[in-house]
């Protein structure tokens, strides 16, 4: 782990910086394509999204530079304050926030719209790292897990009040951090996965069929392990638990989810086939990406995004422009860049000496992963439509800035990891 070059009291991970910058530039070009209008073709104009995004990117460069200058220890110390500030902002946004698209998500500051939920990720991530690292010498215990989870729960509740389900769900991705630190077991992850599968199956098929199949599976299991005395009771418990889960999912789906959320899920599951109604966004998104084929239509040649068939084409659905104009080749390039970034971040996290930096690194990876997978998954129709941005590509100052800060704070830790953080 000593292969990185020493740069001025530490070493900067240029691979990550390069990926970050590439993604920002790809984002900028695609935002330009998404709203391109030959009548106003100037490259930098503050009246256009890509003009503003250019300013944001420049700002991010400055902020990144500033982060590198500030002492790494600073972030550990200020994390409770930062967390506190973001919580206050989350409360403020509920009071003075601009209501956009049903969500009370933005605080207007001049022409800039501050989105506190984006910064809440950073604050929560830092505080969680600080809290878990302070217990890193002990064996992971349940109490620490609960207290750590509470750090996340507060912003989740505040964000849900906006209500911005997409951003709130992001925090659940941090479950992987608890897993990495040993607070959650592999069985727990597998159990979660089974729950998700059962959840989807329940929505697709009648719950009684599923319970029937579960009964058969448990019976087979009990028979296979009939030598073990525990086999029968565990099979029965497993069966009862999963049956209850299935029934409660069905109940939650029918009675707790709001109708628009139900519709979004139904569209994904193919239960509703209405390309003009509920499925419109998803359908147009798939059309845009699918029509790109192998090499895409060429830069600025896309029609679906440019002509407004795809909604939110420069924010949540920016990947449609990539898919349409750059085709499978371009899409895969972007997917691989993200995968490269995620693997690089885990690698960076693992090579940190301090638990704080490592835990923070995994937090960053989890947040990026969730955004990357849910956003692209949504545009290609394997995940319900959840409005969260694609890191560095989507238009928007708040998200770009908060993602950049998330990443560069980690890079700062990495740059002087030989010192004690």
Partner 1 sequence: MNSFFERKYIIQGIFIAAALLLALRLFYLQIVDDSYLLSANNNVLRKVVVYPARGVILDRTGKILVQNEPVYDLMVTPREVKPFDTLALCELIGIDKEGFDKRFQKAVGFSPYRASIFEKQLSSQTYARLQEMLYQFRGFYVQNRTVRSYPDSVAAQFLGYINEVTEKDIERSNNFYRPGDYIGVSGVERAYEELLRGQRGVQNLMVDAFNRPKGHFMDGKYDTLAVAGEGLVSSLDLEMQKLAEKFMKNKRGSVVAIEPSTGEILAFVSTPSYDPNMMVGRERGNNYMKLLNDPNKPMFIRPIQAQYPPGSVFKVVSALVSQQAGMIEEHTRYNCPGGYSYGGGRGFMRCTHVHGTIDLPAAIQGSCNTYFGHVYARMLDQRKMKAAQAYGLWREAIMKFGIAQDLGVDLPNEKKGLLPTANFYTKRYGNDKWGSGFNISNSIGQGEVEITTLQMANIMAIVANRGFYYRPHLIKSIGEKKIVKPEFIEKLPVGVEQRYFEPVIEGMSRVVKYNANIRIPGIEMCGKTGTAQNPHGKHHSVFFAFAPRVNPKIAIAVFVENVGYGATYAAPIASMMVEKYLKDTISMSKAVQDRVLKESNLIVPEPPKEPVKETITMVKKTKSAEDNVTYISHSQRAILERWD
Size, binding site for partner 1 by CB under 8 A: 52
CA distances from 123 to 22, 217, 355 (A): 26, 45, 17
Kindly list the distances between the CA atom of residue 47 and the CA atoms of 34, 36, 210, 225, in Å, as whole numbers in the listed order.
15, 13, 54, 69
Per CB under 8 A, 132 contacts partner 1: no
Site string for partner 1, 379-398 (x = CB under 8 A): -xxx----------------
Selected binder of partner 1 within 20, 50, 54, 369 (CB under 8 A)? 369
**Residue 338 touches partner 1, criterion: CB under 8 A:** yes
* 346 binds partner 1, rule: CB under 8 A: yes
| Separation between Cα atoms, residue 333 and residue 392, nearest integer Å | 15
> Given the complex with partner 1, which of 24 and 177 has the nearer CB atom?
177
96-122 b/e (C-beta count within 10 Å ≥ 16 → b): ebeeeeebbbbbeeeebbbbbbbbbbb
Q: Which of 97, 292, 384, 397 binds partner 1 (CB under 8 A)?
A: 292
Query: Of 122, 176, 386, 390, which one interacts with partner 1 (CB under 8 A)?
Result: 176
Q: 182 - beta bridge partners?
A: none
Which of these segments, 14-22, 105-113, 161-169, 365-373, binds partner 1 (CB under 8 A)? 365-373
User: Please, which residue, 158 or 374, has the CB nearer to partner 1?
Assistant: 374
Binding partner 1 by CB under 8 A: which of 9, 101, 110, 186? 186
CB of 376 vs partner 1, minimal distance in Å: 5
For the bound state, the minimum distance from the C-beta of residue 183 to partner 1, rounded and expressed in Å, comes to: 9
How many angstroms separate the CA atoms of 349 and 358, rounded?
Answer: 4
Q: Which stretch binds partner 1 (CB under 8 A): 4-12, 54-62, 77-85, 367-375?
A: 367-375
Closest CB to partner 1 among 262 and 417? 417
* Residue 263 neighbours by CB under 8 Å, 6+ apart: 272, 278
Contact between 350 and partner 1 by CB under 8 A: the answer reads yes
Nearer to partner 1, 165 or 331 (CB): 331
Instruction: Give me the residues that bind partner 1 (CB under 8 A), please.
Output: 136, 176, 179-182, 186, 189, 276, 284, 286-294, 303-304, 306-309, 323-324, 327-328, 331-332, 335-336, 338-339, 342-343, 346, 349-350, 355, 358, 362, 365, 369, 372-373, 376-377, 380-382
């Amino acid at each position: 782990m000593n292969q990185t070059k020493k740069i001025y009291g530490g070493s900067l991970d240029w691979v990550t910086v390069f990926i970050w910058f590439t993604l920002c530039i790809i984002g900028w070009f695609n935002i330009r394509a998404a709203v391109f209008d030959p009548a106003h073709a100037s490259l930098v104009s503050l009246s256009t999204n890509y003009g503003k995004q250019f300013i944001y990117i420049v700002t991010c460069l400055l902020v990144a530079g500033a982060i590198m200058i500030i002492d790494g220890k600073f972030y550990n110390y200020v994390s409770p304050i930062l967390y506190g500030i973001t919580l206050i902002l989350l409360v403020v946004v509920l009071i003075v926030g601009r209501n956009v698209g049903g969500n009370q998500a933005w605080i207007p500051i001049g022409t800039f719209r501050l989105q506190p939920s984006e910064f809440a990720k950073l604050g929560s991530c830092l505080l969680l790292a600080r809290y878990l690292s302070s217990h890193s010498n002990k064996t992971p215990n349940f109490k620490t897990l609960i207290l750590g989870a509470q750090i996340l729960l507060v912003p989740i509740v505040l964000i849900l009040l906006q209500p911005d389900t997409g951003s709130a769900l992001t925090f659940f991705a941090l479950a992987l951090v608890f897993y990495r630190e040993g607070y959650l077991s592999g069985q727990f992850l597998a159990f979660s996965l089974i729950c998700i599968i059962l959840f989807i199956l329940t929505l697709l098929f009648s719950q009684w069929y599923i319970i029937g199949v579960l009964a058969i599976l448990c019976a087979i299991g009990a028979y296979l392990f009939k030598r073990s005395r525990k086999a029968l009771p565990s099979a029965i418990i497993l069966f009862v638990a999963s049956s209850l889960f299935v029934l409660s999912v069905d109940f939650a789906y029918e009675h707790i989810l709001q109708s628009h959320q139900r519709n979004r899920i139904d569209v994904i599951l193919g239960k509703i086939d209405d390309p003009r109604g509920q499925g419109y966004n998803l359908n147009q998104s798939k059309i845009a990406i699918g029509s790109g084929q192998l090499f895409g239509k060429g830069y600025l040649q896309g029609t679906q995004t440019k002509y407004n068939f795809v909604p939110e084409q420069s924010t949540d659905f920016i990947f449609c422009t990539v898919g349409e104009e750059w085709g499978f080749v371009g899409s895969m390039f972007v997917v691989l860049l993200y995968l490269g970034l995620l693997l690089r971040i885990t690698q960076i996290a693992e090579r940190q000496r301090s638990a704080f930096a490592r835990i923070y690194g995994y937090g960053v990876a989890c947040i990026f992963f969730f955004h990357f997978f849910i956003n692209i998954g949504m545009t290609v129709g394997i995940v319900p439509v959840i409005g969260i941005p694609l890191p560095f590509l989507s238009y928007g100052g708040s998200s770009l800035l908060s993602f950049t800060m998330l990443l560069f704070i980690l890079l700062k830790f990495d740059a002087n990891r030989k010192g004690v953080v």
